[in-house]
Amino acid sequence: MLRWARAWRLPHGGLCPSGSSFSRVPVAPSSSCSREGAEPRPLPLSYKLLDGESALPAVVFLHGLLGSKTNFNSIAKALAEQTGRRVLTVDARNHGDSPHSPDMSYEAMSQDLQGLLPQLGLVPCVLIGHSMGGKTAMLLALQRPELVERLVAVDISPVETTSSSNFESIVTAMRAIDIPDEMPRSHARKLADGQLSSVVQDIAVRQWLLTNLVEVGGRFMWRVNLDALAQHLDKIMAFPLQQDSYPGPTLFLLGGNSEFVHPSHHPEIMRLFPRAQMQTVPNAGHWVHADRPQDFVAAIRGFLV
């Protein structure tokens, strides 16, 4: 029997109406401050844990930019059922139900996990990260290899991301959305969808983005911290320079229709992850797990053997 456990749905840093009127959809207030140059302070992340055999390394999923732990709900359930392992899905800082912070560096996101995973008794684990989550996973494995039994980076490289993913335009469009107070939820989503459509043509991507739109007291807010993401988008697209390599087994799982991982990235991949192997999922774009979920699960299971 699978058992869901939820923790850290926090009252602070959550979605709190301010009482003032507004013309555009706001983001929830920040709950944490950091000093320039200070060591990143770990935040208590929101997570869901599927129970399983404690003798086997747990599987931990990290979502990408503008995503949340719910992106992996069906994948997590399938892997837990098919492998008997514990499976953890996590909201990154400034995403989902996790607290907001002005610090959106990979060092800070790695510190968050360095606090959470040992606390839950899930180390060493199989760490699987997509896009931004893949970069967080890679940095954690490089910084603390003893916490990571093996690593999967989904359609991302340990280099600057230069693919025409248009994240900057998407964030700008989300910040510009205008929804009047007290509008019914169905109307609000339709209005937001229409305003996004000029920038995001793919309806499935728009529907995914709109999972971040939440209603609190008759007002609509973005649960993702768009202000912090917009301010640090250059950091999110980059990757911190690293000298040491990760010695564990590593899989780079790529979308066959995606251009995020280029052959020119391979030397840096092999320098940092000398045991890396590449696998491509045909007919999948950047969101490999959403485009080809069964192939994605099969690839993960094969890597776990």
pLDDT digits (tens, 9 = 90+) for 281-304: 999 999 999 999 999 999 999 999
pLDDT the model gives residue 163:
62
For residue 223, the one-letter residue type is R
Arithmetic mean of pLDDT, 29-44: 59
Confidence tier at 5 by pLDDT (50, 70, 90): very low
Condensed to tens digits (0 to 9), the pLDDT of residues 52-93 reads 999 999 999 999 999 999 999 999 999 999 999 999 999 999
pLDDT the model gives residue 231:
93
Q: Which CATH class is domain 47-161+238-304?
A: alpha beta
d(CA 254, CA 281): 6
Annotation marks residue 131 as catalytic: yes
In the chain, which residues fall in CATH 3.40.50.1820? 47-161+238-304
Residue 180 vs residues 184, 215, 226, 287: alpha-carbon distances, Å: 10, 12, 19, 32
* Residue the block writes with tokens 């998407």: 170
Annotation marks residue 193 as catalytic: no
**Catalytic residue from among 95, 100, 232, 286:** 286
d(CA 20, CA 33): 23
pTM of the model: 0.86
Condensed to tens digits (0 to 9), the pLDDT of residues 230-275 reads 999 999 999 999 999 999 999 999 999 999 999 999 999 999 999 9
pLDDT the model gives residue 7:
37
d(CA 137, CA 127): 6
d(CA 59, CA 48): 12
**Catalytic residue from among 31, 98, 131, 157:** 131
Q: How far apart are the first and last CA of the chain?
A: 23
* Residue the block writes with tokens 């045991």: 275
Arithmetic mean of pLDDT, 43-49: 97
Condensed to tens digits (0 to 9), the pLDDT of residues 103-146 reads 999 999 999 999 999 999 999 999 999 999 999 999 999 999 99
d(CA 192, CA 138): 34
DSSP string, 155-210: S--SS---SS--HHHHHHHHHH----TT--HHHHHHHHHHHHTTT---HHHHHHHG
**Catalytic residue from among 91, 227, 291, 295:** 227
Q: Output the CA torsion sign for 175, 136, 63, 121.
A: negative
Annotation marks residue 63 as catalytic: no
Provide the phi-psi class of 29: left if phi over 0, else alpha when psi is between -120 and 50, else beta.
beta
Side-chain half-sphere exposure of 275, counting CA atoms within 13 A:
13
* Residue the block writes with tokens 């979502």: 63
